[in-house]
Amino acid sequence: MKPRVAVFSFTSCEGCSLAILECENELLDVINLVDFVRWREAMTETSDEIDIAFVDGSISTHEDVRKLREIREMSKMLIALGACAHDTCITGIKNRFGMSQVKEIVYGPDGAQFDTIPARPLKAVVPVDFELPGCPIDRGEFLRCVRDLVLGKKPKLPNYPVCVECKRKGNVCVFFKGMKCMGPVARAGCGALCPSFGDYCEACRGFVDNPNEESHKETLAEHGLTPQEVMNFFTLFNAYDESQI
């Protein structure tokens, strides 16, 4: 029996779910290995019997919490699909304002009645079996994950910085081009995609385990960023701070 796979989206741009459909060269092979049984964006068919649930989006409302718990109940395995599900991605920027302030900015005094809670990753609400980081997910990483799960293997993520992948590719470090970059603290696995296209890394995959944040903040400051700009670099894709929830 092929594993029964579902795809769900919470507070997100749905880009990570879409990235699955953008594995055009491999999609027919994937369908040979697994059965998609529930995927609102792509299918009308549905099911409550799920072996593997891929879930994108962060949890930002009470309704999100309730639905995620239901999904956890009906799924043997739950995989966080992409940065929003992994560490809230940009949806965590809202948290830095505080809920009453952000509702005031957008809604004015009537904001109080809207249901929004500080954005949190899936693992803050339910146990998660594996996480695929990145904004969006890396297609190769997703396909390897599916292959590993079907083979009964535990998928793995690299735990070294993007700089390693940049150097492997022979890229000229973008600091030498006058840019500032988060490569030294960002988790690799994307092939240093942004620097390979001439732009700088924004750490959309989150940080490596035990990143040397203080050292990198000094580096950015030495290269001309003001304290506010350094904070912006560190809180674009990595705003989530569980101690503040």
| Residues near other proteins (CB under 8 A) | 9-19, 21-22, 24-25, 27-28, 31, 36, 39-45, 60-61, 63-64, 89-91, 93-94, 97, 102, 105-108, 110-111, 114, 116, 135-136, 177, 193-194, 196-199, 202, 204, 228-229, 232, 236
Least distance (Å) between residue 138 CB and other proteins: 10
- 228 or 243: whose CB is closer to other proteins? 228
Least distance (Å) between residue 245 CB and other proteins: 16
CA distances from 127 to 79, 122, 154, 159, 194 (A): 10, 8, 16, 21, 32
- How far apart are the C-alpha atoms of 120 and 109, rounded to whole Å? 25
- 10 or 130: whose CB is closer to other proteins? 10
Least distance (Å) between residue 210 CB and other proteins: 26
Contacts of 87 (CB under 8 A, 6+ apart): 121, 133, 206, 238, 240
User: Contact at 8 Å (CB) between 187 and 157?
Assistant: yes
Least distance (Å) between residue 154 CB and other proteins: 27
Contacts of 66 (CB under 8 A, 6+ apart): none
Contacts of 188 (CB under 8 A, 6+ apart): 158, 160, 161, 162, 164, 165, 205, 208
- 22 or 73: whose CB is closer to other proteins? 22
CA distances from 135 to 57, 156, 166, 185 (A): 11, 18, 18, 16
- 16 or 78: whose CB is closer to other proteins? 16
Least distance (Å) between residue 171 CB and other proteins: 10
- 18 or 124: whose CB is closer to other proteins? 18
Residue 11's DSSP bridge partners are: 58
